[in-house]
């Protein structure tokens, strides 16, 4: 083993993070909170990939490459979610303006 931190500590940290993500996914109603919960769950998976790669395959980097790919996917997911949230919000604001009494369309 190459570090002083045991594998169990990484796994416990990942389980706590994943559980917090599941809790946030089930309980929260806000779109942003759900996205943050998904990111938290994906981060726990990344911790698992890196930990198992470090302990099982010391000289190989496949687990780290998968972790880097997951980080890239997470960044793309966050960017797409932000764009979708902005589009949904503008549509909701437009719908509210159309429902106001006394406003005329130009």
Q: How far apart are CA 57 and CA 37, in angstroms?
A: 30
Q: What per-residue confidence (pLDDT) applies to 67? A: 82
State the CATH number of the domain containing residue 81.
1.10.287.3510
State pTM to two decimals.
Answer: 0.70
What is the number of structural domains in the chain? 1
pLDDT in tens, 42-90: 899 889 888 888 888 877 777 778 888 888 888 888 888 888 888 988 9
The answer to whether residue 19 is domain-embedded is yes
Segments forming the whole domain that contains residue 33: 7-99
CB of 64 closer than 8 Å to CB of 53: yes
pLDDT in tens, 86-100: 898 898 888 888 777
Between the alpha carbon of residue 64 and those of residues 16, 39, 42, 44, 67, the distances in Å are 21, 18, 14, 14, 5
């Amino acid at each position: 083993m190459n570090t002083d931190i045991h594998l169990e500590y990484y796994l416990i940290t990942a389980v706590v993070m994943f559980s917090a993500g599941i809790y946030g996914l089930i309980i929260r109603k806000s779109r942003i909170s759900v996205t943050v919960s998904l990111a938290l769950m994906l981060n726990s998976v990344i911790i698992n990939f890196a930990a198992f790669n470090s302990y099982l395959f010391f000289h190989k980097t496949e687990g780290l490459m998968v972790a880097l790919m997951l980080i890239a996917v997470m960044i793309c997911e966050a960017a797409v979610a932000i764009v979708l949230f902005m589009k949904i919000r503008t549509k909701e604001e437009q719908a509210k303006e159309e429902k106001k009494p006394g406003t005329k369309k130009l």
